[in-house]
Amino acid sequence: MQSIFIETLFYESFKVLFFLSLPIFSSVFLISLIMNVLQIITSIHEQTLSVIPKIITVFLVFTFFGTWMVNLITHYMDYVFRHVAFAIFYSY
């Protein structure tokens, strides 16, 4: 039972990690792609022109998806604490 529990725990942790990082990485990727195209078109290769929109994008993603992320982490930690206690006290 312990190996199944550990496999399920790793699977759930990677699933939570994927769902938490997906909005951030996808939005930053999209913004960096747009900014790179604009820099190529205008021939302006200033580093701050690509970094500042990424910072603003991450801030906006946390603003819009922050409650969902906290809710996801809360449910995951509830799952972990319930099942770890069960695995420790009721394992043979």
Q: What is the pLDDT of residues 9-25, one digit of tens each?
A: 899 999 999 999 999 99
- Rounded to whole angstroms, the Cα distance separating 69 from 50 reads 26
| Structural domain containing residue 32 | 2-89
pTM to 2 decimals?
0.75
Tally the domains of the chain.
Answer: 1
For 70-84, write each residue's pLDDT tens digit: 999 999 999 998 888
Q: Read out DSSP for 14-77?
A: HHHHHHHHHHHHHHHHHHHHHHHHHHHHHT---THHHHHHHHHHHHHHHHHHHHHHHHHHHHHH
d(CA 77, CA 84): 10
